[in-house]
Amino acid sequence: MMTDSDYSPVVGLEVHAELLTHSKMFCGCAVVDSVEAEPNTSVCEICTGMPGTLPVINQRAVEYALRVALALGCDIAQTSVFARKNYFYPDLPKGYQISQYELPLAVNGEMPIKTVDGQKIIRIRRVHLEEDTGKLYHREGYSLVDYNRSGVPLLEIVSEPDLSSVEEVKSYATGLRSLLRYLEVNSGDMDKGVIRFEANVSVLKEGQSDLGTRTEIKNLNSFRSMVRAIEYEIDRQVSILSSGGDVQQETLGWDEAAGETLSQRSKEEAHDYRYFPEPDLPPLGVDRTWIESVRSELPELPFEKTARFVNDLGLSFYAADVLAVDKSVAEFFEEALDHSPSLPAEKIANWISTDLFALLNEANIPISQSQVEPETIAELVTLVDEGTINATSAKIVLEHVFRNGGSPKEVVKELDLAIIQDPEILRRSVKEILESSPDQVDTYLSGKEGVSQWFFGQVMSVTGGRADPSVVHQILNDELKELKSRQGEG
Ligand code: ADP
Ligand code: ZN
Ligand code: MG
């Protein structure tokens, strides 16, 4: 009997991303927020498919697509071709979607992702341009359609089947979202459906080299449903195969409420989209000069930032990646570094990605809206590093600044959080503890010297954790020695 561990998942992802252009792919209609805008307020004859209208290619959309394709290291086709993908659905007024099929804009790219074993390269099969469909709203007994989204530029990024775990799928999807935001071509706002996934899933039996039969799960609109659907599908296929059955190639839907994939159509019923070149559009020409000018304007990419943080700043790959994934966080981090160049980058990184992130998460705001500025972190870490406050106090200070603003130095004064190093003050505390704990002192004098830890704890506690531990240890040792020698005399 085969077990689950004899099979490993194989996943190829198709990612659809709306492009943040001002106007639609083939007409002048504005691209509007699909959640906020009144339905059917940004539509015209072209994007509603009236006969006799002619589409025109949006150059800006091509430029955005080029940004992504170049960032992924793809080969760009100097000539690519738009095609008609024919099918009938109420959200598709023309009866066909204009897409790229045989000759896509770009092929053969690479996307580095973070895995538990470090970095892995996921091959990109193709990147092409198409147009989005309208949106259906199902009410009880009837449906409504909003064509605002109809004709919005859509980029499709298709990976090779190189993803071998659910974690890798997550990492790839997160990485792509991050890349699209860096390139300023997509808002990354998953709640608004601006990035959608289709997952192709098969499983590979140990020792087998040919890929297994795959199924394709359509319309996954969040990371969460994508992950759940893929996990479900892997389990389903493994249980079919391990009981001697065969996986059928089919298209599946994901039922979020039931938590299962459902067959939509089998291979036999597969759509014949009757692709043919779009007769109303010329081939899309992209010349070298254009390619090079787009390439020269690419920003530093998230995976390049990660590499730089590792190589130049000595961060761990993990720490670097956590900061680099969001451009505004990466910029915040680098600004904090600029304010305190002599501090170890690792410490700054750590305060941002643990304590500050926790506060941001709790308040559910982005780093740009926080009262904590890069210089706040720099100042805070400096205060800890030079020994003015301990880590516990620093957390209190950070939270205080997060809620009320201000500078860490002021807050340390205001809340009286500075470390107590004054030997006189600390000696007084030590003596008080010893005097008020005769039993423990006897225990100590009877040879159980471990109890000195208890005295130490008491001193830390009466000083609210602010006493300098090394000074306390030293004084405590002195005082205990003193008691011992007096015992010897007496
Ligand atoms: P289509 O969806 O039009 O059939 P392709 O055949 O090019 O397109 O494949 C689409 C996706 O399926 C790609 O992301 C590819 O990596 C993935 N894929 C192909 N074969 C497998 C497989 N055996 N297991 C998992 N994914 C696969
Ligand atoms: Zn229009
Ligand atoms: Mg497909």
Residue 268 confidence (pLDDT) above 80: no
d(CA 438, ligand 3 centre) in Å: 79
pLDDT band at 100 (very low <50, low <70, confident <90, very high): very high
Q: What is the per-residue pLDDT across 287-328, written as a single tens digit (0 to 9) for each? A: 999 999 999 999 999 999 999 999 999 999 989 999 999 999
pLDDT band at 4 (very low <50, low <70, confident <90, very high): low
Minimum-distance ligand 1 atom for the alpha carbon of 160: 16
Ligand 1 pocket member 10 (CB < 6 A): yes
d(CA 230, ligand 2 centre) in Å: 36
pLDDT at 490: 60
Ligand 1 pocket member 202 (CB < 6 A): yes
Q: What does pLDDT average to over the chain?
A: 95
Minimum-distance ligand 1 atom for the alpha carbon of 201: 25
Q: What is the per-residue pLDDT across 226-243, written as a single tens digit (0 to 9) for each? A: 999 999 999 999 999 999
Mean pLDDT check: name the lowest of 14-18, 143-147, 266-270, 353-357.
266-270
Q: Are 227 and 166 spatial neighbours (Cβ–Cβ below 8 Å)?
A: yes
Residue 3 confidence (pLDDT) above 60: no
- Residue 120, amino acid: K
pLDDT at 373: 97
pLDDT at 486: 87
Residue 267 confidence (pLDDT) above 80: no
pLDDT at 24: 98
Considering the entire predicted model, what is its pTM?
0.88
- The whole-number average pLDDT for the span 237-261 is 95
pLDDT at 489: 76
Ligand 1 pocket member 9 (CB < 6 A): no
Q: Are 12 and 161 spatial neighbours (Cβ–Cβ below 8 Å)?
A: yes
Residue 381 confidence (pLDDT) above 70: yes
d(CA 11, ligand 1 centre) in Å: 8
Q: Which residues pair with 201 in a beta bridge?
A: 11, 215
Residue 429 confidence (pLDDT) above 80: yes
Ligand 1 pocket member 294 (CB < 6 A): no
Instruction: Look at residues 27, 29, 143 and name the one whose alpha carbon lies nearest to residue 90.
Output: 143
Minimum-distance ligand 1 atom for the alpha carbon of 158: 14
Q: Whose CA is nearest to atom 22 of ligand 1?
A: 214
Mean pLDDT check: name the lowest of 17-21, 243-247, 267-271.
267-271
pLDDT at 12: 98
pLDDT at 130: 98
Ligand 1 pocket member 214 (CB < 6 A): yes
pLDDT at 116: 87
Report CA-CA distances (Å) from 192 to 18, 63, 121, 186, 259.
10, 23, 29, 11, 22
Instruction: Look at residues 367, 19, 16 and name the one whose alpha carbon lies nearest to residue 184.
Output: 19
Q: Are 87 and 105 spatial neighbours (Cβ–Cβ below 8 Å)?
A: no
